[in-house]
């Protein structure tokens, strides 16, 4: 039942690289520096897992791939902006990301702050344009949902808890809640966007919501395991950061073996939520397994 996802993920990555390269503004004029930094932070980076979720979930409902790619690009822009700001000296203070100097290291802090701001803004420009969907109701719903997922009750709320309320995050319930906000909200948007665009029935939307919930947790546990055990050369960024920062993670609380078991359980559970779909969902099923077995 579970398809090997790597070839499709690789193809989507190449496709998204081209889409982002075309959609992102071109560096012209005296403000070109910030556009170069936007492109630096977004292009040649990452596995495009969130974009893949948008493309695959929309495919379930026959949504046009070109339209989906604009929403996928918006999600990747929000993800890239969050990394640029998260890497700043005042936040996680990281020098390396995806094997390259972080944006503030390659440019400067002011440029990185502005490039992140501009990427977030650009995501909403993408969603609101008529090329994204002929129905403005759908476009407004996408804007509203992305704003909810990325805002103070979503990703930013999670970042805030991660920065200043670490002392209160000690048990699995709090770690789960932090993850739901910090990384889960955007993953949920990515998995549900295709259903919004395809005007999916409530049971089908619900299936994708549940899939995203379990998948997001499984990926976070896998990330925690990679931070604890991964190879920095394969990953292209520093590891052991959580331990150094004294952060409670799924691995520090459960131990590596139980965390690994929990990630596998959640990945299986995520795939099981998709039984309402036929073999069209095989790549989404495969994505769950891929998430917990990856090395970077």
Cβ distance to a copy of itself smaller for residue 169 or 281: 169
Measured CA to CA, the distance from residue 220 to residue 240 in angstroms comes to 15
Give the distance from CA 156 to its chain's centroid.
13
Q: How far is the CB of 134 from a copy of itself (least distance, A)?
A: 11
Q: Does 34 bind a copy of itself (CB under 8 A)?
A: yes
Q: How many CB atoms lie within 10 A of CB 97?
A: 22
Q: Is 31 a binder of a copy of itself (CB under 8 A)?
A: yes
22 or 109, CB closer to a copy of itself? 109
Options 26-34, 52-60, 222-230, 240-248: segment touching a copy of itself (CB under 8 A): 26-34
CB atoms within 10 A of CB 84: 29
Q: What's the CA gap between 194 and 55, in Å, rounded?
A: 7
The answer to whether 236 touches 97, Cβ cutoff 8 Å, is yes
CA–CA dist 185, 176 (Å, integer): 12
Among 22, 44, 108, 231, binds a copy of itself (CB under 8 A): 108
Task: Give yes or no for residue 199 binding a copy of itself (CB under 8 A).
Answer: no
The piece of 81-89, 188-196, 255-263, 269-277 that touches a copy of itself (CB under 8 A) is: 81-89
130 lines the binding site for a copy of itself (CB under 8 A): yes
Residue 117 makes contact with a copy of itself by CB under 8 A:
yes
Instruction: State which of residues 165, 172, 234, 245 lies at the interface with a copy of itself (CB under 8 A).
Output: 165
| Of 95 and 231, CB closest to a copy of itself | 95
Q: For the chain, how big is the Rg over CA atoms in Å? A: 18
**What binding mask, one character per residue, do residues 41-80 give for a copy of itself by CB under 8 A, x or -?**
----------------------------------------
Q: Is 296 exposed, middle or buried (0-12, 13-18, 19+ CB in 10 A)?
A: middle
Q: Which is nearer to a copy of itself, 186 or 204 (CB)?
A: 186
Sign of the alpha-carbon torsion through 230, 235, 238, 243: negative
The dihedrals phi and psi of 88, each to the nearest 5 degrees, come to -60, 155
How far apart CA 64 and CA 41 sit, in angstroms, is 27
3-state SS assignment for residue 96: strand
Q: State which residue, 31 or 293, has the beta carbon closest to a copy of itself.
A: 31
The residue ranges that bind a copy of itself (CB under 8 A) are 25, 29-31, 33-35, 38, 81, 85, 88, 90-91, 108-111, 113-114, 116-118, 120-122, 124-125, 127-130, 135-137, 139-141, 143-144, 146-148, 150-153, 156-161, 163-165, 168-169, 174, 177, 181
């Amino acid at each position: 039942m579970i398809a090997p996802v790597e070839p499709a993920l690789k193809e989507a990555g190449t496709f998204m690289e081209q889409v982002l390269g075309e959609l992102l503004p071109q560096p012209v004029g005296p403000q070109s520096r910030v556009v170069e930094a936007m492109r630096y932070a977004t292009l040649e980076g990452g596995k495009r897992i969130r974009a893949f979720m948008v493309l695959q979930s929309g495919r379930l409902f026959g949504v046009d791939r070109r339209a989906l790619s604009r929403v996928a690009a918006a999600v990747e822009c929000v993800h890239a902006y969050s990394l640029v700001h998260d890497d700043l000296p005042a936040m996680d203070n990281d020098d390396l990301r995806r094997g390259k100097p972080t944006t503030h290291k390659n440019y400067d802090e002011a440029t990185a702050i502005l490039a992140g701001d501009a990427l977030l803004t650009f995501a909403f420009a993408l969603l609101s344009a008529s090329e994204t969907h002929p129905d403005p109701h759908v476009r407004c719903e996408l804007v509203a949902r992305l704003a909810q997922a990325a805002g103070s009750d979503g990703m930013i709320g999670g970042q805030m808890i991660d920065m200043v309320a670490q002392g209160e995050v000690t048990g699995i319930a709090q770690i789960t809640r932090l993850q739901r906000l910090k990384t889960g909200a955007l993953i949920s948007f990515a998995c549900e966007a295709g259903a919004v665009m395809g005007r999916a029935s409530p049971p089908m939307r619900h299936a994708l919501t549940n899939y995203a919930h379990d998948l997001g947790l499984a990926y976070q546990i896998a990330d925690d395991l990679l931070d604890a055990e991964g190879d920095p050369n394969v990953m292209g960024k520093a590891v052991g950061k959580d331990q150094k920062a004294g952060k409670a993670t799924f691995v520090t609380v459960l131990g590596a073996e139980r965390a690994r078991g929990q990630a596998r359980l959640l990945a299986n559970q995520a795939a099981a939520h998709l039984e309402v779909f036929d073999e069209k969902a095989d790549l989404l099923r495969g994505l769950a397994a891929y998430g917990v077995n990856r090395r970077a």
